[in-house]
Structure 1
Amino acid sequence: MGAVIGALGRLVVPGKQKMGCLLTIAIGIVAALLGTWVAGLLGVSQTAGIDWIQLAFQVGFAAVGVVIVAGVTDRHG
């Protein structure tokens, strides 16, 4: 799931990001956990089937993570 969320996060961010698969998966895992937690706090993770709101939170967190990591790696190497 982390790979899917991380890949979707990279697709949302414009431009090319210089990061590997493992970093993308790690960002996706963290984003999935954060998105699930925030959706639970807001009470929107109680739906049957695919929870599109929770998925939007997860992809949003992944996009933010990609921007942060890509910005740090662009400056340092």
Structure 2
Amino acid sequence: MKILELISNPDTGRLSHTKLWANVACAASTGVFIYQGIKGTLTVEAWAVYLGLVGGYVAALRYIAALREKATATAVEQEG
């Protein structure tokens, strides 16, 4: 994976503000999570927020991708 794929639209190759800011948010929250872990100030609440943000975002993306694939497969079946 190229680093530019994290912030660009795969179809056009142009900058995607949605991808850019989502990855900035994930990177910032990961930095805070690591910092709190090193300092010994990491709480259960911080774990929940971090996992909800990063894990939830990834789960949502995969769910949306699965729905799109299913819709595409259904459309192809209906045509053929």
TM value normalised by structure 1: 0.38
Larger RCO, structures 1/2 (Cα 8 Å, 6+ apart): 1
Larger Rg: 2
TM value normalised by structure 2: 0.37
